[in-house]
Chains A and B, each alone.
Chain A
């Protein structure tokens, strides 16, 4: 692409070399102007604060007092030796990876069902998307009340049906609370994820499927050897997007449990918010944020590498 671009203006001008170079420089300068507004906002809002975060993570800043001192890697030492942080990391992995896998499975299932429809597919595609319009925050807020131990709808139904023993303190029982969070996060039909799978399913060449069927392949075999490999790219995209979202799960935790009871359901994102803003430890919070960044980057790169290699083999 690069060489192409370099040659084209030359072909257009057909002039001498210096004019061509001047033209090229001017072209690039104009393009840079096009990029500039977005680049400035992006650097100011994303890159600069991220770098500043690294700096703050080496200080004992409380977030209020303008005076602070550099403490080296003390914050990182504290974090890595803190059970609380490791518990938050564990929850983040459970919720992030768990929701990525489960939501993708649901979305793929729904997309496969939709793909089977030859009538009213548009209508069903629309209603399947509807639940995705409800934000995680709103859904969690409603669930919080439905799951209330003493007055909530869920336990009331269970008790009325005679399953009083099954009524649980869904958001207060430390043994199940992370599972309940995972359930609520995954209580969806996928929305965008489903649409991406559906679009990819519909681009699977029908000839291939027909050919496989003629060769006597069962439905399962068609899926395993024809459809699934064709979806590999979509799986990579969807898993990556869901994992990035999963690592930073905050809304549901904030609304449903606020990290409790005790510390048991804190996630990394919640932990950073809590120590940075609630406990006056901006330096410490920044260090945790940097650790989160490393986790996100490492898992995204590794997962992509793994999934891309799968794509090639398939």
Chain B
């Protein structure tokens, strides 16, 4: 057990190193002078040479590449991700402000997708090959094939404009998070329900289910008490992955609902050509994703001891 956990943790180190190289290279792969692009994006107009030199000096862009990378990584490890050109604030500070919004949204989206996905998957398996099954699977097919931003707009049209129940934008009060979380969760709900349905149908063929039937238990009890528990294993496995999808989905969802958060920060950073902001946010999201997956992997081997033998 310890060996598996240690091995998994050690595997993360090279991945994070390569991630940091990719993120670091972003600014050096830009066509043209990054300082000119950044200042033009932030301040506009013609940029005096002194201003360019000053920024180059501050950002250490006139040092050799390897030295820049070492500085980048040591600063990042000590929590310094540089300063946003546009916001004139340390990137870490901006990130700390926005994290709660995105985490809350992702978490609620995940919970919603789990509830809806399990419900639809269960109903579909329970009424296999009936119209209920076909309807549920069509719904989940639509879920996975739908552009997430479009779903967000439809929800705004229905719940904000027509019914006036939830606000269409902003981040004040609990009501403002409902529509973004629904939008974010719907796509994953489609995936979860399809996965759960097929895994349930597989489990229902097992011997112990036949035994339960032989004991005279009702179908509902067999399904919920005996089959669901085992059928949930693949669903739990993909939850970590789904959390990453939530973080990525937040990029679009936060923009549709004009909510503050990490996703919107990346989009704005790119549009403003504020590269320290983009680099910091992307590095941060990638690290969260890597650690969440690490945690899911390790906890999964605790739940199912067969994993570590593989």
Q: Do A and B actually bind?
A: no
Instruction: Give B contacts to A, CB under 8 Å.
Output: none
Report which A residues bind B (CB closer than 8 A): none
